[in-house]
Structure 1
């Protein structure tokens, strides 16, 4: 793909050069801030996520003040003002309402809203947007409209915006299709691993069934929820890993446990997920720590609870799916002798480690595809690549959600009312 032959310097940090026939305009010249407050009873609640603007999930944390939300109309651009939600923004395809921590902008008629969707979601603008914010600590860094309204961004002629959108829709769909194929491969590999585990821990599949006993979970271990830890103190780096309802959440300076343990997600979209952890770590109150008795080794416990598919026992709590510790402890299972547990765990380690390597390699391919998509979008919307004369063939449209298999954000709820 060729570059523009005639460019000009801008003296703007995040876009140092643009094509000479493009304009630089301030946000407040092209957008109107929508401030109208509405009730979620009249306008469907929407979530502002890193995948765009989506209907709010039923289990998302709800605000105590549901009558105090912002109106969003189809075509509005919505961006989360909090730095810990960096990248959570997009053009809404729906009418609805969002919480007050979001900025809602209505674009002028000279803008193609889909061009704006690509431009304002690219990583260069994201860095510029949050650079204009303020706050005491990184997780509470906030950018208000009054601080972003003078940010300059490039505006091509409308016909060129339309072509940029056609080109990017095509290329993004191609990449999303490949990502979707890779994600299906991962699901098949994970399914195969689960089947191997189930067969290994099934009493009826074994020859020496006399070594196996039918017991309730509470006879071979005890379980206890972890200790609450507010999200603001969980960092991207630190001394000890922090495990919550959906697995690893980040790192913290202290720990609650030291040794080899099984961690079960108690709350969240992935309630029932199982992790084997070793060393020092912090388990939050959204996770269950398994304390094995002398009749159960942690490595076998990991495979045992993975094979039991604990997610099927999750119930819908007020805000999100959850698991009852009492329910799990009263489930029945077949357990062999400790010697046989070690033998089975060794065999499963060997098989599952090989499958995990394949999964991790596939995830690396997905990451490279996502990086490629991000670079293409950024280069096109900032005028580094000229796509005006590139014909766009017929293609199958594949959006980000389809590529991700419909998966949403699996972050644990933060502060009620800030579910976006």
Structure 2
């Protein structure tokens, strides 16, 4: 079906990456994509447009596809040249289906959370059935059309969510920078873009409203089968919430070691230093957890600030502006502990903080309801697409007659890549 390319790169070749959405492309083609650490390029290989590439690290998550770029990729990739009877896009769809079914995961030994070591011999163990080349092309044409139509729907829904979040953010910004009473006396904030703030409010560094500020170990606790303590990584902190998708657990030993500087307590905040920088959430009741790499604990002094108010402030106003400015200009945006300690916070009296939190909750509740409903619609259509593509690529649906009626469309990836995907090269930090 394929031959191994095994061609060394030449000077000027740029890095090509396989994303878990099925796109294999020059990293420059992905807006905002960052390269972590110093990548050692010994053993790198050349890749051509039309090659089928599989990432050994995230093949089980769908990290494979047909390259649209000329460049180089790391030695953990399998770079394959399709033989004449094979359409590389068809095989990509089929092997991604096998990844979805867990077949690839069953062949490999996981070496760390969300990454694995998929080798050439593992690929030889996969069985692929395929129709004649003309029918392979017809199947790919139908799949591309399905992706194009579904992505149009998802794009519209995500734009709606973006606009709703903008309106919600405007409400929060007004409340945490101006308060609820427009008639109170005001004073200059000392910050040009912010203008005036209520006269009885203070602007102080965040360290003055914290009992403790704790950095985590500079590595992540080991994943242990049967462990009961969740390890919170940066990818588990999104949009002000603690997200338990793709979470893993450690054991008593790991928990003890990774909380020796201090156990995270309910009501305290977790803050990300990197990947991405500046996300925050409140630790919920009833859970013992430890922090992964690049996560910081903000131990709130409840006599000075309300946890919900602090969270809202970090995601809006002067605090958000500070975080954004500190994140600009580096290859991988990150915070030093001294940067975090000096995040400016607008602090009204505690009783007023509580009223602001309650008012924001009332005014944004309807936005949250619509946003959640729209997100669910996106999930449902994405799941339907996956089932439909599976039926098409495995031959359960005969699409030959349908293909003849469809227009040609570009081979479109399933979704936009994100920085939360595992890096496919080992950096110095990971070795």
Structure 1 and Structure 2 fold alike (TM over 0.5): yes
- Equivalent position of 1:282 in the other structure: 290
Q: Choose the corresponding residue for 1:297, options 285, 306, 316.
A: 306
1:190-339 equivalences under 5 Å are 190-203=165-178, 206-207=181-182, 208=184, 209-221=198-210, 223-230=213-220, 233=223, 238-244=228-234, 247=237, 248=243, 250-253=247-250, 254=255, 256-268=263-275, 270-279=276-285, 280-293=288-301, 294-307=303-316, 308-309=319-320, 310-317=323-330, 320-339=332-351
Tell me how many residue pairs correspond in the alignment.
384
**Distance in 2 (alpha carbons) for counterparts of 1:94 and 1:117:** 16
**Distance in 2 (alpha carbons) for counterparts of 1:138 and 1:339:** 44
Shift of 1:96: 1.6
Cα pair 1:123 1:378 within 8 Å, conserved = no
**Distance in 2 (alpha carbons) for counterparts of 1:143 and 1:418:** 21
Cα pair 1:246 1:410 within 8 Å, conserved = no
* Residue 371, structure 1, aligned to residue 383, structure 2: yes
Q: Deviations over 1:96-143 (max 9, x none)?
A: 222222211111122222222322222467633333334688867533
* Residue 386, structure 1, aligned to residue 382, structure 2: no
**Distance in 1 (alpha carbons) for counterparts of 2:205 and 2:429:** 40
CA RMSD of aligned residues (A): 3.1
**Counting strand residues as a fraction of each chain, which structure ranks higher?**
1
Question: 1:411–1:291: structure 2 CA closer, same or farther, 3 Å change rule?
Answer: farther
* Residue 47, structure 1, aligned to residue 17, structure 2: yes
Cα pair 1:224 1:290 within 8 Å, conserved = yes
Q: Helix, strand or coil: the match of 1:275?
A: strand
1:69-88 equivalences under 5 Å are 69-82=44-57, 86-88=61-63
Q: Which consecutive unaligned segments of at least 5 residues does structure 2 have?
A: 185-197, 238-242
- Equivalent position of 1:108 in the other structure: 83
- Equivalent position of 1:172 in the other structure: 147
**Distance in 2 (alpha carbons) for counterparts of 1:291 and 1:340:** 21
- Equivalent position of 2:413 in the other structure: 400
1:132-143 equivalences under 5 Å are 132-134=107-109, 141-143=116-118
Of stretches 214-223 and 339-348 in structure 1, the one that deviates more from structure 2 is 214-223
**Distance in 2 (alpha carbons) for counterparts of 1:167 and 1:235:** 41
**Distance in 2 (alpha carbons) for counterparts of 1:174 and 1:236:** 42
Q: TM-score, with normalisation over the residues of structure 2?
A: 0.78
Q: Helix, strand or coil: the match of 2:155?
A: helix
**Distance in 2 (alpha carbons) for counterparts of 1:377 and 1:417:** 39
Question: 1:138–1:334: structure 2 CA closer, same or farther, 3 Å change rule?
Answer: closer
Q: Which consecutive unaligned segments of at least 5 residues does structure 1 have?
A: 1-29
Question: 1:288–1:93: structure 2 CA closer, same or farther, 3 Å change rule?
Answer: same
**Distance in 2 (alpha carbons) for counterparts of 1:315 and 1:211:** 32
**Distance in 2 (alpha carbons) for counterparts of 1:78 and 1:417:** 24
Cα pair 1:202 1:334 within 8 Å, conserved = yes
Cα pair 2:17 2:24 within 8 Å, conserved = yes
